[in-house]
């Protein structure tokens, strides 16, 4: 257990870095409590004379503070409801690049994880090719009957778990005290934000879970002609080590190389958008970190995604919600779009559907007066969530994660095809999913699921009847022979009865005193 002074030391160091980088200089003193304004002025005395632009100071400070703070910043970039839209845009620029740790350390970590030397696992094991805050990647090879198979080996950075645990404990300490003194911090649920970050980081630091995500995505997309994921080498995967098929493909960010290889860039952009929407709507399971560095194109023009540490999930309810909203905007049915919010229970029933539909129309109509390349689906969802805040719609973290991922995916797609028509591209995926789940086939499937539930209940009836008969036998035995209690139970009942008797006597004295007071008062 880390002590409060240790938390204060860590947080003080962070505060010093924020002050030096000029983070406090972008805070409006009039927006801070009166008692905190002298502290704000004192912090500004530590500011360096040459600080970066105001909009990048926070990201610069977080980068300087190290891996935990970079992760915090990246996480907060997905929560504009907590930090605001401007800060969220700044935090989106945070790059998770760190100096690599040594080759000997990497090989020792692999050996410790599997209990055998590296040369017993791999035919070759090269130097790191990429390094981030949590892990780094090495190119290696595995011996096969036909020679050697290249693989990518991702290794957890030594000591990173201890560092994250200490920093996250300090974040929790700060969030708890903030909620104790600030109504705004309680409204933003700062402790819950830190808890969510903790769960996210813990998942990222267990590579077995990333391997499972890859496996699930591979199953979901096995019949997709334009997308695939690297295969997992389960024999060489553990909590600290993840071994995957080596991807020898063209980075989606390298536009010139893609053109030189003759790829159809507008088709790639279309495939990227439709693939993402298909994963979100059809599967309810999507890659939530689809920046250009995590996307490649193989020689068959298939998209390949890597780095499955951050994944998003949508339940059936959220998918219906998303599909109907997108479809409602496509066909300009704002009333139905408003109805979906109320049916999902996202907007309190005390509000009028008509008023909410009017607010949604204010978002949708300007879109239809613009050219296709000017319409941003991600921006539309952001505006939608902003408007819903006026109607007390509680933010759904899973929908925010979807929206933030869509911002990135849309940006990558437009870098390939600046004139991409987002709505025409999205329409077939959304329409197909809606016909499948809201049409005749979907209703038949729903009826079949309902019948299956009834079947499961009927199957459980014999067990329920058996347990019911047993209870009836016990009741019959009690009425015939009396209820037999253990001596300990009788003693506890006596104590309870004695306490109840004392409280009853006290209550009677209080009532008597009140009656006397009323009599003499007259």
Q: Would you please indicate which residues are annotated as catalytic (active-site) residues?
A: 289
- The C-alpha atoms of residue 339 and residue 342 are separated, in whole angstroms, by 5
Tokens linked to 485: 């209690």
Q: In what order do the strands lie in the sheet with 295-297?
A: 227-228, 303-305, 295-297, 250-251
Decide if 309 contacts 210 (C-beta within 8 A): yes
Tell me the H-state helices in 77-143: 80-83, 85-91, 103-114, 118-121
**At 449, is the secondary structure helix, strand, or coil?**
helix
Tokens linked to 35: 């008692």
- The C-alpha atoms of residue 141 and residue 246 are separated, in whole angstroms, by 9
- End-to-end Cα spacing for the chain: 63
CB atoms within 10 A of CB 232: 22
φ, ψ of residue 295 to 5 degrees: the values are -125, 135
**At 297, is the secondary structure helix, strand, or coil?**
strand
For 347, 382, 394, 404, 450, the CA distances from 387, given in Å and listed in that order, are 11, 9, 11, 17, 36
Q: How big is the CA angle at 317 (ends 311 and 318), to the nearest 5 degrees? A: 45
Burial class (CB in 10 A: 0-12, 13-18, 19+), 521: exposed
Nearest partner of 139 among 119, 123, 149, 153, judged by Cα: 153
Tokens linked to 483: 């209820």
- What contacts 192, CB < 8 A, 6 or more positions away? none
Nearest partner of 296 among 257, 260, 333, judged by Cα: 257
Which neighbouring-strand residues pair with 152? 139, 244
Decide if 316 contacts 433 (C-beta within 8 A): no
Query: String of b and e for 265-298 (b: at least 16 CB within 10 Å)?
Result: beebbbbbbbbbbbbbbbbbbbbbbbbebbbbbe
- The C-alpha atoms of residue 204 and residue 216 are separated, in whole angstroms, by 16
């Amino acid at each position: 257990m880390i002590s409060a002074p240790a938390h204060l030391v860590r947080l003080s160091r962070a505060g010093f870095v924020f002050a030096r980088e000029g983070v406090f200089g972008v805070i409006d003193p009039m927006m801070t409590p009166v008692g905190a304004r002298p502290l704000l002025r004192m912090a500004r005395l530590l500011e360096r004379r040459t600080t970066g632009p105001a909009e990048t100071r926070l990201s610069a400070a977080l980068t300087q503070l190290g891996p935990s703070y970079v992760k915090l910043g990246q996480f907060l970039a997905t929560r504009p409801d907590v930090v605001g839209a401007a800060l969220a845009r700044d935090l989106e620029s945070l790059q998770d690049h760190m100096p690599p740790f040594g080759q000997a350390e990497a090989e020792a970590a692999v050996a410790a994880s599997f209990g055998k030397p590296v040369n017993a696992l791999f035919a070759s094991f090269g130097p790191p090719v990429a390094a981030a805050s949590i892990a780094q990647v090495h190119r290696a090879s595995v011996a096969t009957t036909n020679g050697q198979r290249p693989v990518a080996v991702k290794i957890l950075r030594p000591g990173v778990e201890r560092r994250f645990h200490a920093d996250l404990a300090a974040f929790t300490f700060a969030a708890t005290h903030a909620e104790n003194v600030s109504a705004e911090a309680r409204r933003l649920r700062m402790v819950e934000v830190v808890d969510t970050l903790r769960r996210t980081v813990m998942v990222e630091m267990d590579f077995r879970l990333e391997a499972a995500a890859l496996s699930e995505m591979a199953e979901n997309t096995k019949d997709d002609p334009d997308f695939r994921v690297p295969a997992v080498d389960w024999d060489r995967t553990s909590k600290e080590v993840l071994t995957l098929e080596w991807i020898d493909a063209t980075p989606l960010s390298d536009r010139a190389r893609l053109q030189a290889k003759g790829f159809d860039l507008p088709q790639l952009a279309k495939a990227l958008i439709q693939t993402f929407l298909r994963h979100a709507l059809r599967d309810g399971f999507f890659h939530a970190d689809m920046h250009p560095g995590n996307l490649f194109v193989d020689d068959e023009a298939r998209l390949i995604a890597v780095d499955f540490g951050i994944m998003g999930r949508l339940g059936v309810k959220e998918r219906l919600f998303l599909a109907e909203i997108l479809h409602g905007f496509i066909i300009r049915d704002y009333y139905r779009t408003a109805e979906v919010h109320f049916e999902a229970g996202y907007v309190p029933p005390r509000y009028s559907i008509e008023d909410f539909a009017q607010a949604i129309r204010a978002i949708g109509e300007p879109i239809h007066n613009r050219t296709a390349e000017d319409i941003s689906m991600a921006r539309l969802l952001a505006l939608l969530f902003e408007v819903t805040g006026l109607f007390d719609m509680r933010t759904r973290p899973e929908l925010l994660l979807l929206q933030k991922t869509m911002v990135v995916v849309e940006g990558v797609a437009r870098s390939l095809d600046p004139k991409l028509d987002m709505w025409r591209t999205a329409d077939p995926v959304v329409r197909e999913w809606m016909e499948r789940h809201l049409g005749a086939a979907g209703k038949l499937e729903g009826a079949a699921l309902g019948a299956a539930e009834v079947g499961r209940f009927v199957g459980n009836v014999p067990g329920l009847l058996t347990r019911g008969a047993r209870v009836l036998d016990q009741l019959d035995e009690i009425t015939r022979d009396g209820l037999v209690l253990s001596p300990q139970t009788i003693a506890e009942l006596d104590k309870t009865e004695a306490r109840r008797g004392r409280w009853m006597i006290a209550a009677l004295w209080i009532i008597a005193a009140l009656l006397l007071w009323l009599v003499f008062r007259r």
